[in-house]
Amino acid sequence: MPGQGPEILLDVPRYDYAWQDRYVLAAPRELPAGTVIHVTAEWDNTRENPVNPDASQTVHAGKRAIDEMFQCSLDVYETRAPPRPPSSWLSILVIALAFLCCRITRRI
């Protein structure tokens, strides 16, 4: 947030391949204008990773299950109140003035 140091909003230390649909914050966060969000992903493609099928293979981005498919989507909602609609009397006044101008123009 502007004027503050970095804050971690989401950390997934034990990622589960079988549950990769979405992660949702327990409570929504208000982020003021000017907030910058940085997204970082790291994965372990080493032999020490017990769920890595083949550490000798290079992992590329792609849509297959063996590819790296990191994607970040954020749901963002504007919370400020919408602008007030113009009051109806203004429309009536404009119509009345236009009618009055038309009547004055016809008499001349």
Say which residues have a Cβ less than 8 Å from residue 51's Cβ, sequence separation at least 6: 17
Instruction: Give tens-digit pLDDT for 30-80.
Output: 888 888 888 888 778 888 888 777 888 888 888 887 777 777 788 888 777
Per-residue pLDDT at 40: 84
pTM over 0.75: no
User: From the CB of residue 52, how many other CB atoms can be counted at a distance below 10 Å?
Assistant: 15
